[in-house]
Amino acid sequence: VKEETPLLRCDGITVRFGGVTAVDDVSLEVRPGEVVGLVGPNGSGKSTLLNVVSGLVGASGSVRVDGAEVPLSKPGRITRHGVFRTYQTPQVDPGLTCLENVMVASRDRGRRTTASAWLRRRSMWARDRERWSEGAEALRRVGLLDRAHQPAAGLAYGERRHLEIARALMARPRLLLMDEPAAGLSSVETERLVDLLEQVAELGGSLLLVEHKIAFLERLCGRIVVLQTGRRIAAGTPAEVWSHPEVISAYLGE
């Protein structure tokens, strides 16, 4: 049997905040093209684990991409390996138009900047002329093409979420880490999000999704990893984990 090297592999990740062990010896992997769900009650360490992978929080243990170890506590380093993330609150730049937001993502690759909107806009127009059609295509995919030249400040919450995904698409992620992408979305917006994430997966991208909405996870994820108070208590197909006794009691006990 040929063993495929996982795209992402976390081994023995432990994070302590003072006396609290937020993540306790957790290992997981995401294979190329795989969509993995990360679930667990509030405070179980899901966001902290994503923060470790994206270098925002230090940890013991190791993170590997394509088998090569990635240094921990280096924010943004992992984007060099094509790993991007979205946050619980959509990160868009309200001072730029929708199209500009997407173009900025292709250049900054998710870095934050303190430059004024005017400076950001000027450097973007100068450098990225040839990529506008690609940006327009990303907006079309998320249903925001008709808003391309309107400021992102005018978008509703769910639309900001879609714009954030267009930005992520523009960065052509190999792996997208998403923290509660469906939080605060209406059921129509959630449907659209599922369609979009299916497209990301069809384009060959892998996803690691933190989400509470079970129907959402069941449609997208081949595999689910369950955390409780920082520990990994179960992993498997959606059917396997939902019938796991520890998972049932973790959720009943919430």
C-alpha span between 245 and 182 (Å, rounded): 27
Residue number with CB closer to ligand ADP (98 or 182): 182
Residues in the chain: 254
Side-chain-side CA neighbours of residue 8 (13 Å): 29
- DSSP classification of residue 92: -
Output the smallest distance, CB 115 to ligand ADP, in A: 28
Q: Does 43 bind ligand ADP (CB under 6 A)?
A: yes
Q: Does 232 bind ligand ADP (CB under 6 A)?
A: no
DSSP 179-222: ESTTTT--HHHHHHHHHHHHHHHHTT-EEEEE---HHHHHHH-S
Residue number with CB closer to Mg ion (87 or 132): 87
Q: Footprint of ligand ADP on residues 124-163 (CB under 6 A)? A: none
User: Angle at the Cα of 220 (from 199 to 137), degrees rounded to 5?
Assistant: 15
Residue number with CB closer to Mg ion (51 or 97): 51
Output the smallest distance, CB 200 to ligand ADP, in A: 22
Residue number with CB closer to ligand ADP (47 or 86): 47
Residue the block writes with tokens 């400040």:
153
Output the smallest distance, CB 55 to ligand ADP, in A: 14
Residue the block writes with tokens 């992997």:
29
Beta partners for residue 227, in sequence order: 232
Total residues at interface with ligand ADP (CB under 6 A): 11
Residue number with CB closer to ligand ADP (193 or 210): 210
Piece in contact with ligand ADP (CB under 6 A), picked from 3-11, 42-50, 217-225, 235-243: 42-50
- Contacts with Mg ion, residue ranges (CB under 5 A): 47
Where b means 16+ CB within 10 Å and e means fewer, 90-120 reads: bbbbeebbbbbbbbbbbbbbbeeeeeeeeeb
C-alpha span between 211 and 217 (Å, rounded): 7
Output the smallest distance, CB 47 to Mg ion, in A: 3
Output the smallest distance, CB 67 to ligand ADP, in A: 26
E strands within the chain? 8-17, 20-30, 35-39, 60-65, 68-70, 83-86, 175-179, 206-210, 223-228, 231-236
Output the smallest distance, CB 182 to ligand ADP, in A: 15
Residue number with CB closer to ligand ADP (42 or 133): 42
Q: Which of 44, 86, 97, 228 binds ligand ADP (CB under 6 A)?
A: 44
- Binding residues for ligand ADP, rule: CB under 6 A, are 17, 20, 22, 40, 42-48
